[in-house]
A and B are shown apart, each in its own frame.
Chain A
Amino acid sequence: MNTFYFEEIEEGDELPAIDFFLSKDGVRQFAKTAGMYFPRFTDDEGARAEGLPGMIAPGVMSLGLLARMISDWNPAAVVKRIGTTFRSPVLPDRNVHLRGAVTQKNDEDHTAECDIWMENDDGERWVIGTATVVLPVKA
């Protein structure tokens, strides 16, 4: 984890990727802490009863994970805006990849616009979004 300054980033910079195995237990843990302990997020049978292929991760978990990627990139970054579109259900028990890139630097307010997304092993983007983050400036 390292803190860096607005002056040190460039448009096109990639945020450090996070690649991990999204376990069912991990999703249940999130569902519990987020007050979303509902069948669709906790067990396959309950989810199938709701017409889903199996248990899914809450959309707001993907949102939270993408915000964590920004926090890992620069713990001093302040997220002013973050928006995500849930394009397809996120199914646990498989690998997910969090990715991001700086698309624009705004000198007047020291913000960076970022594209952020979650994809699977086949490169399908399950969740896409953008964020505006404020970065510290050199004194």
Chain B
Amino acid sequence: MALEFDRSIIGQVFDETSFPAVTTEEIVDYALSLGETNPLYIDEAAAATGPYGGLIAPPTFVSKLRAQKFTPEHLPKFGKFGFDGGRDLELYTPVRPGDELVMLSTIHDIYEKTGRTGSMYFIVIRNEVRNQKGEKVAVIDHRIMQR
């Protein structure tokens, strides 16, 4: 099956989600559920004397942000089953308590890979996260596999 779809959907912003201000509790709970012991993420008093002058979130904290619309309405369907193939994070400014994050979503890429068991289609959804100051926080790529 040739990979045919309207390429104009690539790069178009299909969702913009604003999140309520990040709380200290939310950061600490997230860090502890991963077994973190790094004071930067769990100990406000110790973090205050550290390099950031306060608590920051672990780098993967942004992976818990969920867009209102995960995929565009007219996402082409290439297969019967979808799998979460992986996640790639590029990290810039750390997340701090009080941050009001905004996430923009685009389809970044669609491609086909042929292996032993036939063709698989990969849809890369890109989330760009910014804070209330307009600083870039993270770029998150989701690789969705369809077959």
Contact = CB atoms under 8 A, between A and B. Distances in A.
A59 interface: yes
B85 A71 contact: no
13 contacts: A26-B33, A30-B34, A33-B26, A33-B32, A33-B33, A60-B64, A63-B63, A65-B34, A71-B36, A75-B39, A79-B91, A85-B86, A129-B86
A83 B89 CA distance: 6
A66 to B, nearest CB: 8
B35 interface: yes
Given A29-B33, A30-B33, A35-B66, A81 B38 contact: no
Contact of A86 (B41, B63, B86, B89): B86
B90 A81 contact: yes
B34 A64 contact: yes
A35 B91 contact: no
Given A68-B35, A71-B36, 9 more contacts: A1-B37, A20-B35, A33-B26, A33-B29, A33-B32, A67-B58, A68-B58, A79-B59, A82-B60
Interface of B: 26, 29-30, 32-41, 51, 58-60, 63-64, 66, 83-91, 143
B59 A82 contact: yes
Interface string A46-70: 0000000000000111011101100
A64 B58 contact: yes
A75 B38 contact: yes
Q: Which of B33, B37, B51, B88 has the most CB of A within 10 A?
A: B33
Contacts of A29: 33
Contacts of A36: 64
Contacts of B35: 18, 20, 65, 68
A1 B41 CA distance: 14
B48 to A, nearest CB: 15
Contact of A84 (B37, B86, B90): B86
